[in-house]
Structure 1
Amino acid sequence: MDRVFARFIDKFGGLVGRQEVPVSSIERYRGKLPDQLLEYWAEHGWCGYGEGIFWIVNPQEYEGVVALWLKGTKFESLDTYHLIARSAFGDLYLWGERTGASLDITSCLSRYTVHEPLLSREQMDKDLRSFLLSAEVEYNDFDDLFKPAKKKLGALRHDEMYGFVPALMFGGPDTLEHLEKVKAVEHLILLAQLAELKPYSLSDL
């Protein structure tokens, strides 16, 4: 295990729901995602960390999710994006084939954040390491609700997340009482259809 991933695991810990990554999946994304990420897949699989607060995922399972979220936005033609990781609450971390770790989506609020794009493919592995080193448990914990949600609703499987019902975009409250354990893909597809994807503004902070 290299030092970057070792630091990432030390920070998050709590590995859950590991799935072995088939060689066919690694080859499917060769040249599209960083070689370093594919090496991590081969060694560590697709897996949840921090007891399920952060997941490194199979992008193929989320192709429909990404397509719906980006439909009609400037990102649809800007790059080809793949979901490489997500949080327990549906924070989506997208990787652009040309722009790297340049786009995050907070699905429950229909907000996005753009990061400085890469300048060259040679920087891909470096950008991937920076992405992992910058990931923090607290940034993926919506209003410190992860531990209470896990205690009330149970641990997440690899295909599950905690979602607000009714959705926040419908005016639902962001409280523990309105969190449910839901299927991740289905819930993210639902959220993508509720409101226009907009950039974060100062009023959101």
Structure 2
Amino acid sequence: MRPKRYPLQEVLDEFGPPQGDGPISQAEAERYRGRIPDAMIEFWLNHGRGSWRNGLYWLCDPEQLRPVMETLFKDDPEIRPGEVIPYLRDAFGYIKAWHPRLKLVSIATNLAEVSNTDITVQVINGERPFDDDLAVAGPVYRAVARDDSWANAVDGTPVFDAVLARLGPIREDQVYVMTPHFLLGGDGVAEDFSIGGLVEYLGFLIQTQPFTRTRYISPDEGGRKPFGQLEPVRTIGHDRLIE
């Protein structure tokens, strides 16, 4: 028998609760009941939201990023803004969200890409090891346990430690802002970052250029890279790719 797994317990055991204002109220939690797996709601009730690793990763208030979701997915033929519940983000604005059908939605704001993963459909040794609770929890431990945040575009090394040392930590309503931005000709190196407002910066990025809906192609499906690849499918807000 497969041993029982407790969502988010590994994060608590290794890193402790997030640094923040403590547990949320029952009334606030019930606003999200049925919209995001119960494992995340119970974690909010018991441990609250906040940051780990000096602000590198944040369990965030979905309502804080509601304007971003409304703008990004306005009139999208597949993804309704109200169904997207952002719950995890990094210091550079990368977002993980939950969607009732698509499951894990990744919003790579600095690359203008949206993708999704549904690990609940995977079958390993004849079983489906992930339910919704484990699926929503998985990205949290993966993020906090390793630094997969923005990397130097020149040599591929993460920039967080250098940015933190130069600028200090951010608040929950802030983000490290890339100026000039990578998509607008910047180098994407640690020296390009300053501190700015989270919602304001992400709103700017959404207006800068269209976001692309991508899908993952595994090597078994013909993906050319050793671990597969992301393929552009369409432009967010449209049913096809828009030049």
Using the size of structure 2 for normalisation, the TM-score is 0.72
Match of 1:114 among 110, 113, 116: 116
Name 1:140's counterpart in structure 2: 149
Contact 1:15 1:51 (C-alpha < 8 Å) held by counterparts: no
Q: SS at the partner of 1:138?
A: coil
Q: In structure 2, what residue type is equivalent to 1:180?
A: S
User: The residue matched to 2:67 in structure 1 has which SS?
Assistant: helix
Number of residue pairs the alignment of both structures matches: 200
Q: Is the 8 A contact 1:57 1:85 kept in 2?
A: yes
Over 3 Å counting, the alpha-carbon distance change for 1:127 and 1:15 in structure 2 is: closer
Q: 1:73, CA displacement in angstroms? A: 3.7
Distance 1:105 1:203 in 2: 13
Amino acid at match of 2:208: L
1:129 maps to which residue?
137
Q: Give distance in 1, aligned partners of 2:209 and 2:119.
A: 26
1:98 is displaced (CA, Å) by: 3.1
- Conserved in 1, the CA contact under 8 Å of 2:18 and 2:48? no
Give 2:33's aligned amino acid: R
Q: Does the 8 Å CA contact 1:53/1:141 hold for their aligned counterparts?
A: no
CA RMSD in angstroms, aligned pairs only = 2.9
| Cα deviations by residue, 1:60-94 (Å, 9 ceiling, x for unpaired) | 11111112122344443498111111011111111
Percent identity for Structure 1 against Structure 2 = 22
1:110 and 1:196 in contact (8 A); partners too: yes
Residue pair 1:15, 1:52 contacting (<8 A) in 2 also: no
Q: Per-residue displacement from partner, 1:18-63 (whole Å, max 9, x unpaired)? A: 4542222201111111111011001111110121111111101111
- Alignment counterpart, residue 92 of structure 1, candidates 86, 92, 95: 95
Q: Output the CA distance in 2 between the equivalents of 1:160 and 1:78.
A: 22
The 10-residue stretch of structure 1 (139-148 or 184-193) with the greater mean CA deviation from structure 2: 139-148
Q: Which amino acid aligns with 1:154?
A: G
The CA distance in 1 between the partners of 2:202 and 2:120, in whole Å, is 27
Name the structure, 1 or 2, with higher relative contact order (CA <8 Å, separation 6+): 1
Which shows bigger deviation, 170-179 or 137-146?
137-146
Write the distance in 1 (CA, Å) between the matches of 2:14 and 2:148: 13
From 84, 93, 109, the equivalent of 1:81 is 84
Counterpart for residue 8 of structure 2: 5
Question: Are 1:71 and 2:74 an aligned pair?
Answer: yes
Give the corresponding residue for 2:201. Answer: 187
CA distance, structure 2, for counterparts of residue 97 and residue 4 of structure 1: 18
Structure 1 Cα separation of the partners of residues 180 and 206 of structure 2:
14
- Asked if structure 1 preserves the Cα contact closer than 8 Å seen for 2:178 and 2:194, the reply is yes
**Correspondent of 2:38 among 16, 19, 35:** 35
Q: Secondary structure at the match of 2:210?
A: coil
Verify the 8 A CA contact 2:24 2:48 in the aligned structure 1: yes
Q: Which structure is larger by alpha-carbon Rg, 1 or 2?
A: 2
TM-score, normalised with respect to structure 1: 0.84
Match of 1:193, SS state, is helix
Distance 1:173 1:72, change over 3 A: farther
Q: 1:26 to 1:203 in 2, by over 3 A?
A: closer
Within 1, Cα distance between the matches of 2:26 and 2:79? 29
1: CA distance, partners of 2:75 / 2:97? 17
Query: Does the aligned pair in 1 maintain the 2:18–2:52 contact within 8 Å?
Result: yes
Moved more, 157-166 or 169-178: 169-178
* SS across alignment from 1:29: coil
Q: How far apart are residue 100 of structure 1 and its match?
A: 2.1
Q: Which whole-Å CA distance do the structure 1 matches of 2:141 and 2:51 have between them?
A: 16
